[in-house]
Copies of this chain bind each other. A is one copy, B any other.
């Protein structure tokens, strides 16, 4: 065991914990309620410090927790070590896993016969519905963290395939408005700057997708001085991007101008041969979407005479035509693979939702039919209230007269 690595992990967990005040309040409630006592919880989330604190929170609330990562590149090895060795929380995750190892870890988590699962991308739920159907009976319900996972689960529900209730944690206002936007915005630049040491200012920075994540990235790219180009398939979002001052165009056109491209669409094949063909020498590509299929590595490899790793998270594709293109973090979530993931305070809010939804499932899951549920409003409101308190923000409140005014229709001009 690497003591230095262990110590680093222990401290990272401590640092995260000391900046997660919302989750701390939730932890007190969970411990008090006892709802999770003895529950088996299987988790597949990016294994880094903030996730560690969520897992420890559930453990401290009495749950039996097993944890693995939801992406082969998003594990912080020192944290995984510290969780296992110091906190005795069973963690099966390693950075730079092969796909085979990745799936083996998922199975390890399922081996505890979870009653509740927490997914980010839906891989545990998928396995439960395919290779591990024998476990379905034991499942009370599941949480799903991310947009991509929810698209997948709604497809599942539409197919009539979904066998247990799932809470769409992503759809809580206190999650997607903050985690997807300000979280992805900042952490993507953490990853890009850390992996390349290149200048953002003055660069043409293409953002594929203007959902909550995409607008976070575009906003920060602008804030760092880039000239931002947005690509979209949705007309309304495209007009929003346009009026936010960004250039909007098809990717085939954007690719010609790009110095950087970050994809965050949740869809596959956003950049393919067609786009690689027209890129400038030196274009740097990264992905902040859930899966590594937004930028086609297959196409790029086919077009290349060689590929080599030129920095820790930078692969250089030397195309047959002489151009060189750069892909960060193998096209996997650049903010987690090459950066440290979302800022602690953002995950504090997201994971407070997660923890309360886990408790909600423990208390009510058995009564719920298979369906993708939104987060109960009370949970969203509670986390909002705690976040206000933690940030020391004071609001106005509506007086009786004001409330009455808003419910009358007789007062006009």
Point out residues on A near B: beta carbons under 8 Å: 8, 11-12, 14-16, 18-19, 49, 70-72, 99, 102-103, 121-123, 126, 130, 151-153, 155-156, 158-159, 161, 173-174, 177-178, 182, 185-186, 189-190, 193-194, 197-202, 219-220, 222-227, 231-236, 238-240, 242-251, 253, 266-269, 282, 291, 293, 309-312, 314, 339-341, 343-346, 380-381, 384-385, 387-388, 391, 393-399, 401-402, 405-413
Contacts and interface: CB of A to CB of B under 8 A. Distances in A.
Q: How many copies does the complex hold?
A: 4
A239 B413 contact: no
24 contacts: A15-B197, A15-B310, A15-B314, A70-B413, A152-B408, A155-B406, A177-B240, A182-B201, A186-B199, A186-B201, A186-B224, A197-B341, A201-B244, A202-B391, A223-B225, A225-B245, A227-B247, A231-B396, A239-B384, A239-B387, A248-B394, A253-B394, A268-B401, A268-B411
Query: 10 smallest A-B Cβ distances: which pairs?
Result: A223-B223, A199-B343, A235-B384, A156-B409, A202-B243, A199-B345, A152-B409, A155-B409, A197-B340, A201-B243
B236 A409 contact: no
B394 A250 contact: yes
Contacts of A402: 267-269
B126 A388 contact: no
A311 B12 CA distance: 7
A126 B408 CA distance: 11
Nearest to A234: B395
Contact of A122 (B231, B266, B311, B412): B412
A343 B186 CA distance: 18
A399 B156 CA distance: 21
A107 to B, nearest CB: 13
A41 to B, nearest CB: 20
Given A236-B174, A396-B233, A200 B186 contact: yes
A380 B199 CA distance: 21
A151 B240 CA distance: 25
